[in-house]
Amino acid sequence: MNKILQDLNQEQKSAVLFNDNHQIILAGAGSGKTRTLTHKIAYLCDQKVPGHSIVAITFTNKAANEMKDRIATLIGQSSGVLACTFHSLCNRILRTYYTKVNLESNFTIYDEKDQIKVIEKILENYPDSKYTSYKLKNDISFSKNNMKTPDSMMHILEDSSSLEFITLYQEYNEILAQNNSIDFDDLLLLTLDILEDNDIRTVLQEKYKYIFVDEFQDTNKPQFEIIRKLVGKKTKLCVVGDDNQSIYGWRGSDIDYLLNFNIYYPDCKVSKLEINYRSRPRIIQAAQNIIDLNINKTDKKLIPNRSDDKKRITIFKEPNEYEEASRIISEIRTLNTKHKYEDIAILYRTNIQSRVLEDLARRNNIPYRIVGGLNFYARKEIKDIISFLKLINNTKDNIALNRVINFPPKGFGKKSMEKLVNLADFNNNNTLFESCQEIHTNFYNNIITLKNNYKEHKTISILIKDIITTFKIREYWTDINENSDIDRNGNIMELINTLISLEETDSLELTNFLQDAALAASNKEDNKNCITLMTAHASKGLEYSVIFICGLMEGLFPLPVDTHKELEEERRLFYVALTRAKNKAYLTYSKRRYKYGQETYYYRSHFIEQIPSKYKELKR
């Protein structure tokens, strides 16, 4: 037997050996998807297919590099296969055919910061615009990902606000063109324009005889159209994906491309990888029960390969989020007698939920790391609030003053700051803050008022609410709308919720709280043996011996949804989270939690309800 085919199961081997036509490999969680894909490409190379005729498209540079390394290991030499991301492939095509889209050879690709600078310059000429720079950037990106140009949008003009957006969108594109520059969305769209040329399309179709696409369920419209144009009469297309792990609809991916692959390519071969090598049977069966509630899916199943250890999924029900987090941390201390910390992960739906878990882990001397985000007290919006508190507590703190004197932005720029410093130097006995009385009177008066009010009520949560109201911080973050994945106002409210809870049971001095916050913000866990905290989205592709999924209440996980399609994606996200567990899974929830400073009651998630009793147990 060919050594490349050794150690593959029958499903994997069958998928590797088929190369007669287009193919879709439906690969369940933990079924050896990456292994099958790399062995399939290595097998082609071993059969004397030139590596340069093969392109394997992934979604991250890390995945592309890992694929190249695995293939080289299997065939014993560099393969010559092009393993790259969609954007990297498009950049290659643009660097060759740039003249077709009116670019010069040295064109620049703008990152987000560059885009914001361009948009800020545009908005200077539209003082009455409803747009912030981040909101406009996001709307332009959304339009490009849906392949909507300013010209095409003019034909479906709805109202004056649509006309404003189209005008700004057009001006943005014109400035990029003047600067011989493009953004990352343009990499895809301009490549599509180039591929309209029959001669160029034919050259590329003849060059790439075999095209592989990993994580196909995550493709968006421009990416799918690029693949369609690269596939010629002699091209063999193989896509690999799992409809049950399609969790990025909110950023443009479309599961329908995977579900309808056999419509686009009627003669395709459908291969299935259904044997799960990762998880214990009861974890798989519970996950399958949830995903079976979905209608829009393939008929693939997960079949457990590991033996049943008879352990059921443990359910924790607690009165509030603090008791819930405390129960999780306590259980982890017990687990640590048999499991290393690095084998344990806590998953949650939103980044806001990490705060109470971080606090309790730190207090219990349990090392932790956060994947895909900053620790709670190191987040910008929290550091801003903490800086206000520091200044109120100590008006000589110039570091805190520098951070908040022009936050939210109110026209107090570098020149104003220079005047303030010069005035403080002139009046030797004055601090920078004292000098604000002359140069930045409103700011000075606001801080003094807040300071005096705090002396009366001695309640930090009220002080923060007063800061938010005085400086219109909630309105600022609402208008910015910089990233749909970051809820800055929500994080600030979570800080307030923390303080309300602490203040209910004990008096809390501002100085002591600031000391604790400083220690929390400086937590940088270098110890490899630490528990992992992350969102369910960030957990995709990872695995741990023990998984906790917390906050399983209706309205939190799943989040509130407007459509059945959105609900199905929430279920897929839970499926992804649960199938990260190899040996043990805990599902936890609380009856109530603070939301926007108010105690709110919740029903437990239907995810828990839909798991049959034989797979779960409530542990009191």
Strand partners, 240: 25
Euclidean distance between the first and final Cα of the chain, in Å? 54
Q: Which amino acid, residue 302?
A: L
Any catalytic annotation for residue 159?
Answer: no
Among candidate residues 38, 191, 245, 285, the one labeled active-site is 245
Q: Which of 183, 185, 186, 214 is catalytic?
A: 214
Q: Which of 34, 298, 437, 610 is catalytic?
A: 34
> Is 191 noted as a catalytic residue in this protein?
no
Q: Which of 11, 12, 33, 40 is catalytic?
A: 33
Catalytic residue among 11, 185, 215, 381: 215
Residue with tokens 């540079």: 61
The CA-atom distances, in angstroms, between 389 and each of 203, 392, 430, 454, 465 are: 63, 5, 21, 10, 11
**What is the gyration radius of the CA atoms in the chain, in angstroms?**
28
Of the CA atoms within 13 Å of residue 473, those in its CB half-sphere come to 24
Would you state the structure tokens that stand for residue 478, as one six-digit string?
A: 């609402």
Q: Going by DSSP bridges, is the β-strand pair 544-549/344-348 parallel, antiparallel, or unpaired?
A: parallel
Residue 419 structure tokens: 């005047």
Active-site position among 580, 582, 584, 593: 580
User: Residue 562 in 3-state DSSP?
Assistant: coil
What single-letter amino acid sits at 480?
Answer: I
Given a contact cutoff of 8 angstroms between Cβ atoms, the answer to whether 322 and 356 are in contact is: yes
Q: For residue 327, give the nearest of 318, 336, 335 by alpha carbon.
A: 318
Structure tokens at 358: 């971080």
DSSP E strand boundaries for 92-223: 108-110, 181-183, 210-213
Active site residue 33: yes
Catalytic: 580?
yes
DSSP state of 28: -
Which residues 6+ apart lie within 8 Å of 263 measured at CB? none
Specify whether 214 is catalytic.
yes
Catalytic residue IDs: 33-34, 214-215, 245, 580
